[in-house]
Amino acid sequence: MRYRVMRLMLFFDLPVLTSEQRRNYRRFRKQLINEGFLMIQESVYVRVAINRKSAEFLEKRLLDVVPPEGIVQTLIVTEKQYASMNFLVGASIDDVKNNDDKVIII
C-alpha cells in the first residue's frame, strides 16, 4: 500500500466578546491540541495525516467540536506542498514537532 503523507491545515477566527464565546474558543483550541494539531501561527493549526482519506476523516470529526459562531476553514495539502511554504516576513523555525523527517507510518 502506498501512502501519500498529507497535512490538514485549519484556520479559524472565533469571537471572544462574551464569556460563553471565550469558553467555546478555549474548548475548541483544547480539542485541536488533543487531536494532535500544532499551532504554526495564531489561529492556524496543522496536523499530519497518513493519507487523504485519513485527513478527510479527521476533518469530519472536527465538525462535532466546531463552535456555533465564527469561521473555521480547513485545507488539505500534500507534504511536498506544505514543505514549499515561503516565509515572507520572519524566519522559519526548525521545530522537531513540525518536521516530517521523523514521520513513521505503521
Q: What DSSP assignment string belongs to the chain?
A: -----EEEEEEEE---SSHHHHHHHHHHHHHHHHTT-EEEETTEEEEEESSHHHHHHHHHHHTTT--SSSEEEEEEEEHHHHHT---SSS-----GGG-GGG----
| 95 marked among binding-site residues | no
Cite the annotated binding site by residue number.
Answer: 13
Cite the annotated binding site for Mg(2+) by residue number.
Answer: 13
